[in-house]
Structure 1
Amino acid sequence: MKINVRSGDTFWYYSQLYYIPAGLIIDSNPSLDPNGLIIGSEVEIPGFIKESYTVKQGDTFWKLAEQRNIHVDGLLLLNGNMNPGALKIGSTIFLPSRVTAPVVNGRQGYSSDILQRDLTRLKEIYPFIKLSSIGESVLGKSLYEIKIGDGSKKVHMNASFHANEWITTSILMTFLNDFLLSLTNMNPIRGIQAMPVYRGVTLSLVPMVNPDGVDLVLKGPPAPMKDQLLKLNKGSTDFTGWKANIRGIDLNKQFPARWEFEKERIEVKSPGPRDFPGDKPLSEPETIAMAGLAQEEVFDRMLAIHTQGKEFYWGYEGLEPSEAERLAGDFERVSGYRSVRYIDSYAGYKDWYIKEFKKTAFTLELGKGINPLPLSQFDEIYRDSLGIFLAAVYRWY
C-alpha cells in the first residue's frame, strides 16, 4: 500500500498508525532516508492493500477507522486533502485493508505460472522481500530467489529439484506466506515470534529449481518438443513419473560429489525421465545457477526439499559439521521423520554442499507414497515439515 509523506511524518509514526514494525517499513523503502523523509515522497506500507470504498449514510472517517482498528490519520493519509468532516454519500474513498489471509493456495497443481503470479503478488504486499532471478532454466524460465531479512545467519531452502515432486514448491511457498503474515500481523507461528528471526537470519528460498520439468508433469510437453519428449519417455504420454529437467537430466545427480562414481554405477546411461546424471557434472543451467548461488552466499544451513519417505539425510563422508547432528535431532523430534546420517547415493546438492563448504545441509523427503504425492497429503505434509523449517531458522547452537 502506497502513501505520500506529509510534513512531520516519519517511518516510526507510520509504524504506530498501522501497527507494523518500523523495521519492515524501513526495509520496504530502501531508497528513502528514514531520518529525513521528503514531503510528497511515496512510501510503501507492508502488509496492507488499498481498497476503494463507497461512502454510505452515517459513515465518518472515525467510524471507519474504528471498524478497521486503525488510527483515523491512517485513513486520512490515503485520501489526500479530503475534508474528514464532509464525506458525501456515494463518493469513493480509499481504506487501508490489513492482509490477514494467505495469498498462496498450495492445494493445487503448482506450475511455474502460478509461482510467478504468487511471487508478484507477495512482492506487492510485502515489499521488504527481495525477489530476483539467479538464472534460467533450459527453456528460459526464471529461477527465482526470495530473500527475507538481513541477519548474519544465512539459511537457504529449495524445492522441486525433481519435476514430479512439485508439491514441495506448494509447501515451501505456503511457509513463505505464513512467515510473512506472522511478521506483519505480529502473530507467532507455533509459539515462535517471526521478528527476531527476521532480524537475526537472512532466509533465502528458491521454490522451483526445475520449472520446465514441473510444467511438463502438470501440463504435458510443450508443442515444439513433443516428439522429442515422447521419445525420451518411451512413447508414453503420461509424464507423471518424470523427475528430470526438460532435457532428461536428473538435476539432483549433477553435482561434483563423487559424480563419476554415481555415473558409473547407475543403470541409466542416457537422457530420460529419471536418474541420468548427464555427461558431466554441472552441465545444466539449473544446476549451474544453484551452484553459483551457493558459492556466492555460502549459507550456514541448506535444506533441499524432496518427496517422499518421511525421512531426511544429513551426512556426507564425515564432512558434516557437529551442529548437523544436533539439528537432526531437533528435526526428528518436531516432525516425527526418521533421521538418516548416510545414504548410498551421491552427486546430490546436499552432498556437494557439505563437501564444498563443510556446512550443515539436509535432504528432506516429505510425505510418503508414490510421486507425485496427492494433494490430499498436503495438510499432513505441511504440519510435519513446518516444525523443521522453524527449527532451521530459529534453533542456533
Structure 2
Amino acid sequence: MEIIMRNGDSLWYYSRLLSIPYVLIKDSNPNAIMQAGERIHIPGLKVEKYKIKNGDTFFSIAEDFDLPLDALNLFNQNVNPKKIFTKDIINIPKIVSFPLINGKRKYDTRALKQDMKILLDTYPFIKKQEIGKSVLGKSIEMLIIGNGKKKVHINGSFHGNEWITSGVLMRFINEYACALTSETELNGNKPSKLYNDTTLLAVPMVDPDGVDLVLNGPPEDDVYKELVLQLNNGSRDFSAWKANIRGVDLNNQFPARWELEQVRKPKAPAPRDYPGTAPLTEPEAIVMAEITEKYQFDRVIALHTQGKELYWGFEGEEPMPLSEEIAEEFEKVSGYKAIRYVDSYAGYKDWYIQEYRKPGFTIELGIGVNPLPLRQFDKIYEDTRGIMLAGLYM
C-alpha cells in the first residue's frame, strides 16, 4: 500500500516504525527521491478501518492495537489526533500474515492476471517482466524476487492440462513474499537470507494458450478454433490436451537429442507429444530458451504432473555430485521418488543440463490422470513447497 512521505522521514525510519525489513521497502521504491509529499510503497501491509468510540485517543488506540503511536499518525495524516470524535473512521495498519491468493481453482490466464495484480500491489518488491508472447499473443510473464547472485528458475504449465502447477507456483510465491514481510521462518530458513542470497525467477504459465484451451474451450480466432477442433477429432473436451495451440508439445521442443523424439513421436500436430518440424519453432519454447540464455540460471525446476517423481539427470551431463545432493534433498522433503534417467529427450530440463552443465529438475506433481483434480491441490502443495524452498536455499 502507499503512504505520503512526511518531512524528515526516511525509508529506514519506516522500516523501524513498521517492523518491515528495510531492503523490502527500498526494493519497493527503486525510484524514490525521498522528499515530503512523495508517495511511498510499503510492502506487506493492509489497512483496516476503525470507528472511534467514546473515550478513545490516538494513544489508547495505538496501545490497544500494539502499534507505535507514530504509525497511527503516518496512516492518518488527514486526521488531527487531538480532535477525533465518536463515529470518526481511522486507518489501522496491519502486516499481512496469511496468503492473499487462491491457487486452488481452475487456474487460467484470467486467474493468473488477477493474482499477479494482488501480489504486485501488496508486495511491490516483486518485479514483473513480460518475457514474450504466445502464439495467440498472450503475455508470458516472469516474476522476480530477491537480490542474490544465485539465480533459481521455476516454471509451471509447460503443458495445458497441467494448469494446476501454475496455482501451486503462485501460492508458493505468495507464501514466500508474506514470510519476507512478516519475517516468518520457512522450514527453519530465514526468508531474509534467501532474499539476499538468491534471486527467484518464476514463470508461472509457459503455455497460456494451452491452459485456456483446456479450461475454457476453443479460442475466438477462427483459424486456431478450426485447427484445435480438427486435431481433437471434433470434440470440445480438451481436458487431455498437452500441446500449445498449434498442436506442438512444448516440452519436446528443445535441441537435446530432439531427433530421437522426432522418430518415435507423432509426425503431425496433435493434442500431445508432437515435437514440431524442428527444435524451437514455437514462440513459447523460444522464449524459455532466450530467458535461460539471458539470465544464466544456476538451476531450473520445471513443475509438471503427474507421478510423484522427480527427474534430475540427462545423458550423464548433469554436474556431480551437486545434482545428486539436491535431488536427494528434494526426495527427502517431498516424499517424491528421485530418478536420475528416464527414456525421454528434447525437454526443457534436458536441454538446460546439456547446454549449461548445471542442476536441472523436472518435478511430476501429484498422481492420477491429467488434469489432476483440485481436491489434490492441498496435498500437492504440501509436498512441493519443500522442493521449491530447497531449490532456493541449497
**1:107-126 map, 5 Å:** 107-126=104-123
Q: Residue 303 of structure 1 corresponds to which residue in structure 2?
A: 301
Change (3 A) 1:68 1:270: farther
Counterparts in 2 of 1:266-305, with a 5 A limit? Answer: 266=265, 268-305=266-303
- Are 1:231 and 2:223 counterparts? no
Given that 2:29 and 2:40 are in contact with CA atoms closer than 8 Å, whether structure 1 keeps it comes out as: yes
Match of 2:72 among 66, 71, 75: 75
Q: For the structure 1 residues 256 and 391, does the alpha-carbon distance in structure 2 shift closer, same or farther, using more than 3 Å as the test?
A: same
Between 150-159 and 8-17, the greater mean CA deviation after superposition: 8-17
Aligned to 2:147: 150
**Cα distance between partner residues in 1 of 2:206 and 2:64:** 44
Question: In structure 2, how many angstroms separate the alpha carbons of the residues matched to 1:68 and 1:240?
Answer: 50
**For 1:243-392, what aligned pairs fall within 5 Å after superposition?**
243-266=242-265, 268-322=266-320, 323-392=322-391
1:341 offset after TM fit, Å? 0.7
Aligned partner of 2:55 in structure 1 is 58
> What does the per-residue CA deviation read over 1:326-363, in whole Å, with 9 as the maximum and x for residues that have no partner?
11111111111111111111100001101111111001
Q: Whole-Å Cα distance in 2 between the matches of residues 68 and 220 of structure 1? A: 49
Pick aligned residue for 1:43 from 40, 44, 47: 40
The answer to whether residue 135 in structure 2 is matched with residue 138 in structure 1 is yes
Match among 187, 198, 202 for residue 201 of structure 1: 198
| Offset at residue 280 of structure 1 (A) | 1.3
CA offsets per residue over residues 249-287 of structure 1, 9 Å max, x none? 100000111112211222x11111100011111111111
The TM-score with structure 2 as length reference comes to 0.96
- 2:227·2:246 contact (CA, 8 Å) conserved in 1? no
**Counterpart amino acid of residue 145 in structure 1:** M
**Paired position in structure 2 for 1:28:** 28
CA distance in 2, matches of 1:123, 1:68: 27
Deviations 1:48-94 (A, max 9, x none): 13444443433332233234332121121122253212112233333
In the alignment, the residues of structure 1 paired with residue 282 and residue 66 of structure 2 have an alpha-carbon distance, to the nearest angstrom, of 52
SS at 2:246 equivalent: coil
Distance 1:52 1:329, change over 3 A: same
1:5 & 1:172 partners in 2: Cα distance? 35
Task: Spell out, residue by residue over 1:103-152, the C-alpha distance to the aligned partner (whole angstroms, 9 max, x if none).
Answer: 11111111111101110111010011111110011111111100001101
Q: 1 CA distance for matches of 2:272 and 2:190?
A: 41
Which letter maps to 2:270? Answer: G
Match of 1:172 in 2: 169
| Whole-angstrom distance in 1 between the partners of 2:269 and 2:62 | 61
Distance (Å, rounded) in 2 between the aligned partners of 1:332 and 1:171: 18
Distance across 1 between alignment mates of 2:64 and 2:367: 46
Larger deviation, residues 159-168 vs 71-80: 71-80
Which has the larger displacement, 89-98 or 320-329? Answer: 89-98
In 2, Cα distance between equivalents of 1:288 and 1:208:
14
For residues 285 and 67 of structure 1, what CA distance do their matches in structure 2 show?
A: 56
Aligned-pair Cα RMSD in Å: 1.4
**How many angstroms does 1:228 deviate by?**
2.4
Report the TM-score when normalising by structure 1: 0.95
What do the CA deviations read for 1:157-196 (whole angstroms, capped 9, x no partner)?
0000001001111111111111011101111122222110
Q: Which amino acid aligns with 2:27?
A: D
Q: CA deviation at 1:235?
A: 1.4
Q: CA deviation at 1:98?
A: 2.2
Once the two structures are overlaid, the 10-residue window that deviates more, 281-290 or 216-225, is 216-225
Mapped partners of 2:67, 2:135: distance in 1: 48
Is the deviation greater in 92-101 or in 269-278? Answer: 92-101
CA distance in 2, matches of 1:316, 1:216: 31
Deviation at 1:230, TM superposition (A): 1.1
Aligned amino acid, residue 154 of structure 2: M
Q: How many residues align?
A: 391
Q: Structure 1 residues 230-239 or 57-66, which shifts more?
A: 57-66
Tell me which moved more, 6-15 or 119-128: 6-15
What residue identity is the alignment partner of 2:369?
Answer: I
Letter in 2 for 1:22: Y
Question: Which whole-Å deviations, capped at 9, do the CAs of 1:280-335 have from their partners, x for residues lacking one?
Answer: 11111111111110000011110010000111111111111111011111111111
